[in-house]
Amino acid sequence: MTMTRPLRVLSLLPSATETLCILGGRDLLVGRNHEDDYPPSVLSLPSVTGQKTTFTNSKDVDKEVAEALSTGQSLYTLNGTLVKELKPDVILTQDICNVCAIDLVTVERLALTMDPPPKIVSLNPLSVSDVLSNILQVGEAVNLLPSAERAHELLQSRVTKATAIASSHLQTHTRKKVILFEWISPPYPAGHWSAELIHLAGGEQSVNPHPAGSSKAVQPQLILESKPEYIIVAACGLDIPTTLREVQNLENSTSTADGWWKELLAQDQVKKVIIVDGNQMFNRPSGRVVDALEFLVGILWDEEGIIPSDFPWVTYGGKNE
């Protein structure tokens, strides 16, 4: 009797790792991205990628990234020798953001040198629907499609429930004005699925509104003119303590160019200023984008019962109704 061995899966993307684990595929993983940290059990796996930049502060990192991209340099390293030793059958990666993870071309070039070459699954979501569809894509690639279909159905039902709550409030209220920052210095309003999450939750982000492209730096004056009621900072890759430090540095800055932040906080219409763990939430296109949707609905419409109990957020400053 021929026994089929389990697939060997290498994930080069934190959101893909989360997705695989949601499907019950943790034991298929043989390696991970250096930023993988959820679920915590994946930390015991060998890391095959590395980061060329070192975080000092938001402004410096933005400059480093811009300089690297302008010269065509990758922000990440890939340990090809280790990848070959791990002998993956499937590699989960992406081609939507060169700032977020190793680029697809580098992965494809390495795969061509392997015998047999692994199957490359590239996840490139632009919307909430795409994020949920990626679950099915991963499930099919690793022979866990029934689990993927169940997970997709459960997450979709939560999206339906959350949007129904928002829609009920919109029957008698106008959309809430929101600004969600994916980076704070310089300011990058949310794009792609995060901008859509705001819309689904009954909010409106007039700077880079849904349907939005990628997150891009904007002139602070545009943010001031948008007069948001809810200010949310979910800086990509940063946890809450680091984000708080960056926001406080911006608020304490004596630079005229940074004065927009204090001016924004002082606007009369501002109701809440919130810091979210942007390393875990909003910026990772995994099943936890549904947690982020529920969080937004809860915050915007005082429906705190729908907010997941473990959602990582804190209020900032004294201006919170």
What's residue 72's pLDDT? 78
What's residue 200's pLDDT? 98
Give me the helix-helix angle, 128-141 and 14-22, nearest 10°: 70
Give 142 or 67, the one with higher predicted confidence: 142
Buried b (16+ CB within 10 A) or exposed e, 136-175: bbbbebbebbebbeebbeebeebbeebbebbeebeeeeeb
Q: Which residue type, as a one-letter code, is found at position 83?
A: V
| pLDDT tens digits along 69-128 | 788 788 899 999 999 999 999 999 998 777 778 889 999 999 999 999 999 999 999 999
What's residue 300's pLDDT? 98
Lowest-pLDDT choice from 66-70, 77-81, 212-216, 248-252: 66-70
What's residue 58's pLDDT? 92
Per-residue pLDDT averaged across 284-299, rounded?
97
What's residue 230's pLDDT? 98
What's residue 1's pLDDT? 37
**Which pair of tokens denotes residue 36?**
């993988």
| H helix runs in the chain, sequence order | 14-22, 58-70, 80-86, 104-112, 128-141, 145-170, 192-200, 220-226, 240-252, 259-265, 289-300
CB 299 within 8 A of CB 272: yes
| pLDDT tens digits along 159-201 | 999 999 999 999 999 999 999 999 999 999 999 999 999 999 9
What's residue 52's pLDDT? 86
% of the chain residues with pLDDT over 90: 84
**How confident is residue 2, by pLDDT bands cut at 50, 70 and 90?**
very low
Per-residue pLDDT averaged across 224-250, rounded?
97
Mean pLDDT taken over the chain: 94
| 35 pLDDT more than 70 | yes
What's residue 320's pLDDT? 64
| 234 pLDDT more than 90 | yes
**Closest Cα partner for 182 from 104, 100, 297?**
100
What's residue 319's pLDDT? 62
Give 212 or 144, the one with higher predicted confidence: 144
Tokens 């160019």 belong to 257
Q: Most confidently modeled of 60-64, 142-146, 212-216? A: 142-146
**How confident is residue 12, by pLDDT bands cut at 50, 70 and 90?**
very high
**How confident is residue 318, by pLDDT bands cut at 50, 70 and 90?**
low
Tokens 């904007």 belong to 218
